[in-house]
Structure 1
């Protein structure tokens, strides 16, 4: 019977890593790629029976995920973030499809949660992520929002994975700041053009309209407005950073 390696990329996740690993007990191999955490992430993971390999990410999510795939002991790999939890129905479904032996890339529906704040639309609407697939000939490319590349046909699973996005507003805003920096660097590397009027003035309005109106963020009341506004500033700031990467003499953010 085919086996499953559960792969977790982590850095300073002592608040999340235990709960995450406990939902992965159906896996035959649990591997944590630790970006040299300074808290108890490594200690907790090893205590729970996970293998831990320490490796610096240096902002390269795709490279780190590809490295994780290469270290997997099993035929199948399942990517799970430390702030995600596999539901029991999903765990049973994963074991079932792997046991059938059909080599496919399976997409998992993720319910996004922001601590005690209630929001189910807009930026926190449920989404599908590609997380379960055979390790052979699979890799990941890209720095921010990396893309999993596999030669296998795609299929969606029915079970739910829960994603606990942020614990605090500071955490959310710090993450948005980090992501906009990485996104700007990626865009410049790919020689993406940046128009002050189109990308810094107009594009953020479209980003807000999309999540607040088209993705029904307004149904989440005050939270929908706040999260949609933060998405406006996320979009604007990544293009501001890109703009000044091109226009500052030293090209720094």
Structure 2
């Protein structure tokens, strides 16, 4: 068996469905970043009705720190844990494969590919499927650090890949919420962009000969930061080369939103360079925090 952590902040729309999918496990832990909506109330109802659900709150600092705090301070019932976001779902097929992977004992962590669900359908092509995230891990052997607006894993041992996927309802709260959220994310990405351009390099070996999709994708991202007209190039790449046009209206909308996101990152990176003492990103770098 394995424990399932669910990370939340103001997830009243998604939390019930997420918990329902996670109840394949006998240990579900909701780790909330001080929500101000009904997230905690809904989660507590499951605990009150004798479902195996625990609810813990902790002030959000960053994605990497939240995950590491969770792993260090909330003991799971089982040696293996799976990390879910509230807008994602566990599936019976994925759960069974997780149990099989645990029994093999070969790795300390496993990557799982997401299926991005947007405007009522799976956006397979323009999302660069399969895009893997490390979700199943052995407690005490995997930690997380910050990278841009998200996190990167640090594994003390071998990792592997699962065949089953998980659905990610990336816009379940509406386009306005998506835009507001990615406006915040773009601040972190701008900081990471400047850092990478100033001190980082492109790993050309991983770009062409990386052992895994994760290695190749990370090298490609480092390269993309150096490409002129990046928002436009990203739209052309996603819509035409990856085949986003085959995903219909939803694919076109997704590609436009991703190009818009890239433009926000560039604008905030420019703001950092031109007005460093006034930039919101600089204030965040010096200790201000935000939530999901």
Q: What is the TM-score normalised by the length of structure 2?
A: 0.76
Runs (4+) of structure 1 exceeding 6 A deviation are none
Partner of 1:26: 24
How far apart, in 1, do the equivalents of 2:276 and 2:156 lie? 43
Paired position in structure 2 for 1:61 = 63
* C-alpha distance in structure 2 between counterparts of 1:166 and 1:243, whole Å: 28
Asked whether 1:212 is paired with 2:214, we answer no
Retained in 2: the 8 A contact 1:199–1:239? no
2:119–2:250: 8 Å Cα contact kept in structure 1? Answer: no
Is 1:142 matched up with 2:134?
Answer: no
Distance 2:197 2:154 in 1: 22
Q: Residue 220 of structure 2 corresponds to which residue in structure 1?
A: none
Which deviates further from its counterpart, 166-175 or 62-71? 166-175
Change (3 A) 1:165 1:191: closer
Q: Is the 8 A contact 1:200 1:239 kept in 2?
A: no
Which residue does the alignment assign to 2:108? 104
Aligned to 2:279: 252
Shift of 1:45: 1.6
Q: Measure how far apart 1:135 and its partner are.
A: 1.5
- What corresponds to 1:156 in structure 2? 161
Aligned residues: 246
CA distance in 2 between counterparts of 1:227 and 1:17 reads 24
- Is 1:179 matched with 2:181? no
Q: Deviations over 1:132-163 (max 9, x none)?
A: 01121311011513111112222221222111
Question: 2:94 touches 2:166 (CA, 8 Å); kept in 1?
Answer: yes
Distance in 2 of aligned mates of 1:131 and 1:79? 5
Match of 2:95 among 91, 94, 99: 91
Structure 2 unpaired stretches of 5+: 48-52, 199-224, 281-292
- After superposition, the C-alpha distances for 1:192-245 in whole angstroms (9 at most, x for unaligned) are 44xxxx869522222222211222112123332222122112112102101111
Matched, 1:41 2:46: no
Aligned to 1:222: 249
Q: Which residue of 2 aligns with 1:170?
A: 176
| Contact 1:111–1:163 (CA under 8 A) maintained in structure 2 | yes
Assess, with a 3 A threshold, how the Cα gap between structure 1 residues 72 and 185 changes in structure 2: closer, same or farther.
farther
